[in-house]
Amino acid sequence: MTQHERLLAGQLFNPNGDELRAAKRMAHLLSAQYNLTNEDDKQLRAEITRKILKQCGENVYFQGPIFFNYGIHTTIGNRCFANYNFCVLDDAPVTIGDHFQAGPNVTIATPMHPLVAAERHGMLDENGEVFKPCYAKPTVIGNDVWLAAGVIVCAGVTIGDGAVVGAGSVVTQDIPPNTLAAGVPCRVIRAITQADSLLNSPDILGPNRVI
C-alpha cells in the first residue's frame, strides 16, 4: 500500500512521504491564495475553493482566512458558510452536509498520534526506516449543523443533522441529530424542539417572518 492508501485505510502513515507532502503543499498554497483575496472577489474565491476541495456544492462561502491540510479529502454540500479562521485538518476524509454554518475559529481535526511518547519519537516502517507516525479517523458533519465560535471537532466524530454545538466546545464523541450540545468535553444538553422557534420570541423576531 502507498502512504496515501494507508492514510485512507486508517493505518499508521508517514506524513512526510513525497506523495503526501505534495498534496499538502498544494492545499497550503491554495489556502494562502484564498486568504490574499478580497471578500468581494466571490468568483475567484469560488474557483479557488473548488480547486482545494474534493467536492464542493453550490453557494459555499468562507469568510477567510482558511486552512486546509489536504483539501482533497474534504467534501462540502450546498449553501454552507464558515466564518473567520476555518481550519480543516483533513488527513482522513471530512464530509460536511448542506446548510452548514461555522462561527469564527472553528477547527475540524482528524489526525491522531500515539499516546506513548517513545512511539511519537519515531517508529520503523516495513523497510526498517524511522518515521514520525500519524493516523487519522474520518469525521462526518450532517445537514443543517451549526458549530458556534471556537468549536473543535476531534477525529472520528459524527455530528447528526440539525445539531447545534455551543461556543468553545470540544467535540470528542458523536452528537445525535437535532440536539443542542456544549462543553469540554462536549455533551448533549437537550433536544431542539419547536419551543426554540423564534416565533416564540417576538422581541427578537421583530417585523420579520419565519419562512
Supply angle C-alpha 107, 112, 118, rounded to 5: 135
**DSSP-H helix ranges across the chain:** 3-8, 18-35, 42-52, 117-121, 202-205
What is the C-alpha to C-alpha distance for residues 62 and 117, in angstroms, rounded to an integer?
37
In angstroms, how far is CA 208 from the centroid of its own chain? 32
- Catalytically annotated residue among 4, 73, 99, 113: 113
Residue 113 among the catalytic residues: yes
* Residue linked to cell 478580497: 38
For residue 194, the SS3 value is helix
Question: Per the structure block, which three cell numbers stand in for 33?
Answer: 491564495
Active site residues: 113
